[in-house]
Structure 1
Amino acid sequence: MTYREPARAAGPRVRSLVPAAGITIYGCGPDEAALVEEAVSRLGVTPTVTSAALSEATVELAAGNRCVSISHKTRITNDTLHALSEIGVQYLSTRSIGCNHLDVAYAEKLGISVGNVAYSPDSVADYTLMLMLMAIRNAKSLIRRTDAHDYRLSPTPGKELRDLTVGVIGTGRIGAAVIDRLWGFGGQKLAYDLRPRTSADYVPLDDLLRQSDIVTLHTPLTPETRRLLDQRRIEQMKPGAIVVNTGRGGLIDTEALLSALESGRLGGAALDVLEGEEGMFYADCRREPLENTNLARLQKLPNVLISPHTAYHTDHALRDAVENSLLNCLNFESWTNHG
């Protein structure tokens, strides 16, 4: 495949596939580049591809194109959406399930339709089970001690998943995949969702919180679910329970969670997402002061596992997200051209 480097000032590398087409792909990192190249070749499209995130400074890369594809890693401001509308962009596809990194209602007011993608739910479901198992086997403390050449057993034995009750909040594709995996371990499975659709035992949310040894979150982040686990609901949880979150950081009131963990009321947490992660996760912060004080407090706790929003990050899921984002754009073009 032939690439053309547009004449630009020094900055993020931009590749324009020849000939030009109506899609600009923003935020294409090394993990997606080969997948994009394979997908565009197979689908017969020739978009402009850039490693730069969508922002007011990079909007001009979409000039002449009606569709853009973006990553979930960067917050898209309303000023950026307005700038997109000014240059004629009519469709924005985010390579993620959630759309909480942009104001969808504002985009639609500007005449920009927004689409998300489906990708392999197994990526997040597998990772969720891994976090559960690591949490109940005290893996963080174990690995830290072993790295320091302390090979003694933990003074507190781990637990077996078959002896525990797991409560799954949200049973869409990912939550349902988590429940499918839990059947292989035994134990009781509780679920809460407005639309029951799995074989788990569905109960009211308050009952799930009171009965579950592990609570795992798989609901979208919306105004209704923001801080779903607030102080009141965290206080309802079973003493010693563990919280797992591979959904969105905003589903949990982090201050309330910290209070329950530091007091010993909760037994631990495994968090792949965090309130205020934007601008920090996906960046190398080793030489910078950690400004997120809640993250610093969480990382000091021996019973808290933190990872940087990586549950989705498998080759299969990335391939799904890239291809489905391109298909979204192609479907939009087809619909508008023939509608």
Structure 2
Amino acid sequence: MPSSELGSSGEAATGHRGRTKAEPSSSSLPATGLAVFGCGQDEAALFQEMGPRLGVAPTIIEAAVCETNAELAIGNRCVSVNHKTPITNPSLLALSAAGVQYISTRSIGYNHIDVEYAERVGISVGNVAYSPDSVADYTLMLMLMAVRHAKSTVRRTDAHDYRLNDTRGKELRDLTVGVIGTGRIGTAVIDRLRGFGCRVLTHDNRSHSHVSFDELIELSDIVTLHTPLTADTHHLLDRHRIERMKPGAYIVNTGRGPLLDTEALLAALESGRLGGAALDVLEGEEGIFYADCRNRHFENEALVRLQRLPNVLISPHSAYDTEHALKDIVENTLINCLNFESGRTA
């Protein structure tokens, strides 16, 4: 989930390996080593600032981990990776050969790593927690933009057409919102929704607003997805369930793209059955999101069709991306490493 959060001292070296190492801790104990793959400048600055303070010496590697650069981790039992690039099994095998025993992914989700294969080659995998407010705030923003037709309004005003939209917006207090997934992020979304005075439904027996999954789908004006991606939740909203949603309803997804059957969503949007969608994640986003594609052709036809629709908002897996969340991610990555080295984690 979704995705989250200075100075020139954090810039990586300009050598072909894109690698720099923090100063060791001033403690008399040797610093714990951590190889940080796929590390941007803002992240690097925080790792170099916070690492020595906690007794960790991070080796910053700008490139994402792959089979050919895994040797850069030699000398470190722990590595950190991001969620932006799938970690292939050959990469995991190469990391194991380099002596790596623990991977901390700088994300909540693990779906970019074959955890079972990692365990078979002797590597444990951990994730990080970060501010749920980052994704929760963004989710509410997307809901408001969707029900107030923000995309078409902004497009028209950019073209100096200042007429009112033919379709009036809706107020959240008049709507029923179904929240699928009530972990830290889903709960933070619910807290915000209550401030708007709307009716909230959950598919979770820990809440008094619990209903069956079918009831949630059928009764909600907005369905928002916050559940982890697993084999059981892949295409959780499939064609059958989308067809059972209220006419004119909206779907918001800041979880993972494959929670939603994109072709089924397109069919419902293009037929006019659904009111719209707001998507921060998308099936097939790999290699597109986080890249500059302005002068590049790509093969994701579903993305092109979605972007043509005036009632569909798309952002590039950026809901998590705040300064607060990035600090949480870096700090908890360092703590994961220390906990592994001290035997406090598997």
Give the structure-1-normalised TM-score: 0.94
C-alpha contact (below 8 Å) 1:272/1:306 kept by paired residues: yes
Deviation digits for residues 190-220 of structure 1 (CA, Å, limit 9, x no counterpart)? 0013xx3345x11111100000000000000
Question: Partner residue of 2:179?
Answer: 168
SS at match of 1:47: strand
**Alpha-carbon offset, residue 149 of structure 1:** 1.1
Counterpart code for 1:82: L
Q: C-alpha separation between the residues in 2 aligned to 1:336 and 1:202?
A: 36
Matched, 1:197 2:196: no
Counterpart code for 2:302: N
Q: C-alpha separation between the residues in 2 aligned to 1:288 and 1:48?
A: 33
**Alpha-carbon offset, residue 289 of structure 1:** 1.1
Deviation digits for residues 115-157 of structure 1 (CA, Å, limit 9, x no counterpart)? 0000000000000000000000000000111111111111111
Q: C-alpha separation between the residues in 1 aligned to 2:221 and 2:10?
A: 53
Counterpart code for 2:18: R
Aligned-pair identity (%): 68
**Alpha-carbon offset, residue 42 of structure 1:** 2.1
Counterpart code for 2:206: R
SS at match of 2:57: coil
Residues 5 and 131 of structure 1: is their aligned pair in 2 closer, same or farther, counting only changes over 3 Å? closer
Q: Could you list the runs of 4 or more consecutive aligned residues of structure 1 that deviate by over 2 angstroms after TM superposition?
A: 1-6, 17-22, 196-199
C-alpha contact (below 8 Å) 1:242/1:266 kept by paired residues: yes
RMSD: 2.0
Pairing partner for 1:58 from 50, 64, 69: 69
Pairing partner for 1:91 from 96, 102, 112: 102
Give the structure-2-normalised TM-score: 0.92
Matched, 1:105 2:116: yes
Q: Which runs of 5+ in 1 are unaligned?
A: none
What does residue range 1-339 of structure 1 map to in structure 2 within 5 Å?
11-19=16-24, 21-193=32-204, 196-198=205-207, 201-335=209-343
**Alpha-carbon offset, residue 51 of structure 1:** 1.1
Q: Larger relative CO (CA 8 A, sep 6+): 1 or 2?
A: 2
Which of 56-65 and 71-80 deviates more? 56-65
Number of equivalences: 333
Residues 241 and 336 of structure 1: is their aligned pair in 2 closer, same or farther, counting only changes over 3 Å? closer
Residues 132 and 48 of structure 1: is their aligned pair in 2 closer, same or farther, counting only changes over 3 Å? same
Which of 19-28 and 92-101 deviates more? 19-28
C-alpha contact (below 8 Å) 2:32/2:338 kept by paired residues: no
SS at match of 2:343: helix
Q: Which runs of 5+ in 2 are unaligned?
A: 1-7, 25-30
SS at match of 2:223: strand
Residues 2 and 151 of structure 1: is their aligned pair in 2 closer, same or farther, counting only changes over 3 Å? closer
C-alpha contact (below 8 Å) 1:3/1:17 kept by paired residues: no
